[in-house]
Amino acid sequence: MVILEIMRYLPNPLAGEQQHEFLKKLAKEGSVVNIARKLGISRASLYRYVRMRAMTQGFRGNRERRENVATLGEGLVFDRSRGEISLSKPQLLPEDTVALKFAKVLEDSNIDYVLVAGYTAILFGRGRRSDDIDFIIGHIKENDFMRLCEAAHRAGFLLMQGDILLEESIRKLYQKYLAQGYSVRFMYKGLILPNVEVKFARTNPHSYALTHSITVLINNKYMVRISPLELQIAYKLYLGSDKDVGDAIFLYTLFKEAISHDELDAWCEMLRVDCSILEVDK
Amino acid sequence: MTSDVLIRDLEEERRRNKLDTIRHARWEAEMVKKLGSKWFEVRDKWLMEAFEADRKMWQNSKVREALIRAILARDREIH
């Protein structure tokens, strides 16, 4: 929610570029502390936002020049320069609710995260359900995981593999699962499916997705961060099941006017997948 | 029918299924672009119906426990 709060605070209305520059300037002048205090958020959250923007900006500056803002359909706008997608939808599905609630817990806990896999396609209108909402998070220590579980419990989540109210159980989960590279599952208010699957970033694509995440603003009210679409499409092709290929085709068709085709080709080459299937049988 | 013929037929069937999936996914994306919130309304209606049917099933505690066990067993298999 940090972005929304910052937007509300900023002198209005600032265009995307100006807004970004304004935040960078503030960060340089050291007035971030004051802004953070006024917003009632941590300095780390504000810095993280500014840093994320600066990184995305720097990376995108090297890409081919293209239109920065693409309106892809009614209620769907992709602003590449800000790394932001704005989406309007009439209602939230259970998948949306679970994802948004958990994303807020992570945002409030200052934990880097990115949403990956099938949910990203469902978020944008793919007509299927998902059993898991997959979150990749930056590495955190055991005590931070304890705090994350406390916050998650306050927000209505329970652990599937252990007892969220027992410190011993949470520590065991951290050591046996997260620290070993396996995922931990959270259930929201008794919902078994969809549930939240959380694991640490362990591979290069995971780390890349974390540092180059795209912010999705839903109905100008909710916010989640998703993996860069080029990586997401190539990765889905790499997984290769009919369902995954369908997700890749869906995201590609929806965003092809807005994504970087060079970047998509690079990921396809790196993952050794044939991306010609994206245009097959047209 | 020889096994070669059987395999060839199955592969042909798999190829057709994949093409169907591709066409359908592409059509869904076109619908999002064309219809916007109307598409979401239609999609959400039938996804919510599927969700409610699942939820009714979980109200049975035995089904609930079995489902959780199945999810965790699948995780262990993947690990």
pTM of the prediction?
0.80
Residues 6+ apart with CB under 8 A from B49: none
ipTM: 0.90
Buried b (16+ CB within 10 A) or exposed e, A18-54: ebbeebeebbeeeebeebbeebebeeebbebbbebbe
Amino acid at A22: F
CB contact under 8 A, A93 and B47: yes
Who has greater pLDDT, A279 or A188?
A: A188
Residue pair A205/A224 in contact by the 8 Å Cβ criterion: no
Residue with tokens 């489902």: B67
Please report, rounded to a whole number, the percentage of residues in chain A having pLDDT higher than 70: 76
Distance between CA A201 and CA A211 in Å, rounded? 11
Tokens of A264: 């998509």
Give me the average pLDDT of each 10-residue run along chain B (79 residues). 87 92 96 95 94 89 91 84
Q: For the segment A80-91, what is each residue's pLDDT rounded down to a tens digit? A: 888 999 999 999
Q: For the segment A106-121, what is each residue's pLDDT rounded down to a tens digit? A: 999 999 999 999 999 9
Domain ranges of chain B: 1-35, 48-79
Q: Which residues on chain A are in Cβ contact (under 8 Å) with B44? A: 89-91, 93
Q: What is the pLDDT of residue A33?
A: 61
Candidates B57, B65, B71: best to mutate against A (most CBs of A within 10 A) is B71
Distance between CA A221 and CA A217 in Å, rounded? 7
> Which domains can be identified in chain A, with CATH numbers?
2-62 (no CATH), 91-214+221-226 (3.30.460)
Q: What is the pLDDT of residue A64?
A: 43
CA–chain centroid gap for A36, Å, is: 22
Residue pair A226/A216 in contact by the 8 Å Cβ criterion: yes
Which of A90, A126, A182 is the closest to B28 by Cβ?
A: A126
In 3D space, the residue among B31, B56, B57 whose CA is nearest the CA of residue B44 turns out to be B31
Burial label for A103, CB within 10 Å (0-12, 13-18, 19+), is: buried
Give Cα separations from A54 to A2, A23, A51 (angstroms).
16, 10, 5
Amino acid at B29: A
Identify the H or E element spanning A183: none
Residue pair A45/A36 in contact by the 8 Å Cβ criterion: yes
| Surface of B (46-75) touching A: CB under 8 A | 46-48, 50-51, 54-55, 58, 64, 67-68, 71-72, 75
Amino acid at A53: R
Distance from CA of B2 to the nearest CA of A (A): 27
- The values of phi and psi at residue A130, to 5°, are -135, 140
